[in-house]
Amino acid sequence: MADQYYEVPGGANNNNYANVTRIVEIAESAKCDAVWAGWGHASENPLLPERLSKKGILFLGPHSAAMKSLGDKIDSTIIAQCAHIPTLPWNGSSLQMRMEDLQREDRAVIVPEWAYERLNIRSAEEAKKAAEGVGLPLMIKASEGGGGKGIRVVRAMEGIADAFRAVQGEVPGSPIFMMRLAERCRHLEVQLIADEYGNTIALSGRDCSVQRRHQKIIEEGPPSVVSEEVWTEMQLAAVRLAQLVHYTNVGTVEYLYMEDGTYSFLELNPRWAPCASCDT
């Protein structure tokens, strides 16, 4: 039913939906004014908006700078800490950084390389040492993971090495970190919308706690489990984080909400559409 269509190679998504070069070539040949890449695949790759911009084509989504700042889970957790947003105990909890320590390049907020390298766990031996500081039970996570991949729960020190290698194998080349496991908690999300002029508002949110294999099954909105006071605080924190990185368009800030009424930042999904996967 489309007025025009362009065939792409089949097989792995690197041949089609995740192929930034092919998407830009098609957009240029079709004389597109704008590209909407949906969610997943190339929609979270900062190279896509960068290359489209060079061709004078609008990307319907956040700036590449915001993707770079928040698309990596280690980076985004450090930025959240600097913005005084609660986080779960993790192997970067002891990192003493302030907002002034974050580097800025164009619109991007960049975590210093020394800080990132310090928190990237490279071996099973480093994982065991980091686990002692984080405490059990914990989760070993690939910073570039998603969709339920690159994540393992560990409840005993004997399982650290195997879990670490499993995460390495699922997301090859990704930096790895670990975070305390939060049990009997809710997965709550704040929806944001922001314009080019620094105006950011929260559009309430949803409860995404019903999951299977770290993937959401039911999303309920608005959340009913959290008090109005705490929910307002969570929304304000989400807005503060988005403004810090000059976020534009719409996005999702994910939290874990505990039984005692406290909450912890999980991640900000820098994409045009509400997220279709999570890594709780």
Annotated catalytic residues are 271
Nearest-angstrom CA–CA distance, 105 and 279: 29
- Give yes or no for a cis peptide into 223 (omega within 30° of 0): no
Q: 172: left (phi > 0), else alpha (psi -120 to 50), else beta?
A: beta
Pairing of strands 249-257, 263-269: antiparallel
Alpha-carbon distance of 15 to 2, in angstroms, equals 22
d(CA 80, CA 72): 12
Sheet holding 149-154, edge to edge: 149-154, 138-146, 176-180
| 137 preceded by a cis bond (ω within 30 of 0) | yes
Q: β-pairing, 149-154 with 138-146?
A: antiparallel
* Residue 229 neighbours by CB distance under 10 Å: 9
Q: For residue 133, give the DSSP letter.
A: H
**Number of other CB atoms surrounding residue 87 within 10 Å:** 18
SS3 for 37? coil
**Contact indicator for 278, 211 with CB cutoff of 8 Å:** yes
3-class DSSP state of 164: helix
